[in-house]
Structure 1
Amino acid sequence: MHKQRGLSFFGFIIVAMAVAMAMITAFKVVPAYIEYFNIKQAVTTIAKQNTGSTPAAIRDAYARHADISNIKAVTPADLVINQVGGSTVIRADYEKVVPLVANVSFLFQFQVEQSSGAAAP
């Protein structure tokens, strides 16, 4: 006689619950990272295109990119723009709270920084 092998119904329910939780978590976390990469791309593009521009011009350019990419987490006023010599450093630090279930949430801390100009690395 051979012993039956396989997954019992109870085991299947446990595996299904684990897979469901992983999928729910992924569906909630992925949009936060997509927005982060959109912000990073916008800041990088602006830093390359607006070398030597005024902070107001950089913020206006970011506002256009934010409208196109539907960026809500970082506004043009949130950008920290430092100009030293021929170098411009654009920086954005922000936090994103992603609610998971009931009172359980994830807190993500994102930092985007891009340098441009003559003294940039």
Structure 2
Amino acid sequence: MKRTQSGMTLIGFVVVLGVVGLFAYIGMKLVPMYSEYYAVQQALKGLQAEPGIANRDPAKIQDLFFRRLYISYAENVKPENVKLQRVDRGWSMSVDYEVRKPIIANLDVVGKFSAAENLTNQGPD
């Protein structure tokens, strides 16, 4: 009786390893982008909870926002990406930015992120 072997060949293993490696490499490029977006959202929520934020001037609000981002090592958000608009009881802050990371040769992955928060907390200064 002849026994047949079953299992993965070396070439099959190398192909599977290559596919897994490619997905891991792309994941290493994408995870920091989404981590930074999470930091932007947390900075906006932190500003919203700041006492008296609705009564502050836009320059001070933007300075507080970028201080929070500096702590989180968020580098892709620039001052031109932040917009403050006056609303009835405070400010509406929106952050729209784009992150472009090279993957392989001339292929890039592009992430467009947008976050907004109403800064209407009327607490004491």
Spell out, residue by residue over 1:56-99, the C-alpha distance to the aligned partner (whole angstroms, 9 max, x if none). Answer: 11011112112212221113443101111104211010110011
RMSD over aligned CA atoms reads 1.5
Equivalence for 2:116: 113
Instruction: Supply the AA of the counterpart residue of 1:47.
Output: Q
Residue 100 of structure 1 corresponds to which residue in structure 2?
Answer: 103
Counterpart of 1:37 in structure 2 is 38
Q: What is the aligned length?
A: 118
AA paired with 1:26? G
SS at match of 2:66: helix
Q: Which residue of 1 aligns with 2:8?
A: 7
Q: Does 1:62 align with 2:53?
A: no
The offset of 1:41, in angstroms, is 0.7
Equivalent residues of 2:48, 2:119 under 8 A apart: yes
Using the aligned pairs only, state the percent identity.
Answer: 26
1:59 aligned counterpart, secondary structure: helix
C-alpha offsets along residues 22-64 of structure 1, whole Å, 9 cap, x if unaligned?
1111111111111111111111211221233221110111121
Measured in 2, the distance between the counterparts of 1:15 and 1:69 equals 36
Residue type of the partner of 1:3? Answer: T
Q: Which runs of 4+ in 1 moved over 6 A?
A: none
Distance (whole Å) between structure 2 residues aligned to residue 114 and residue 2 of structure 1: 67
Q: Which amino acid aligns with 2:38?
A: F
- Looking at both structures, which has the greater relative contact order when contacts are Cα pairs under 8 Å and sequence separation is at least 6? 2
Change (3 A) 1:41 1:51: same
Contact 1:51/1:116 (<8 A) preserved: yes
Mapped partners of 2:31, 2:105: distance in 1:
19
Structure 2 letter corresponding to 1:101: I
Aligned residue type for 1:116: L
Unaligned segments of structure 1, at least 5 residues? none
Contact 1:59 1:77 in 2 (8 A): no
Unaligned residue ranges in structure 2 (runs of 5+): none
1:73 and 2:80 equivalent?
no
- 2:69 is aligned with 1:46: no
| Aligned residues of 2:47 and 2:119 also touching (Cα < 8 A) | no
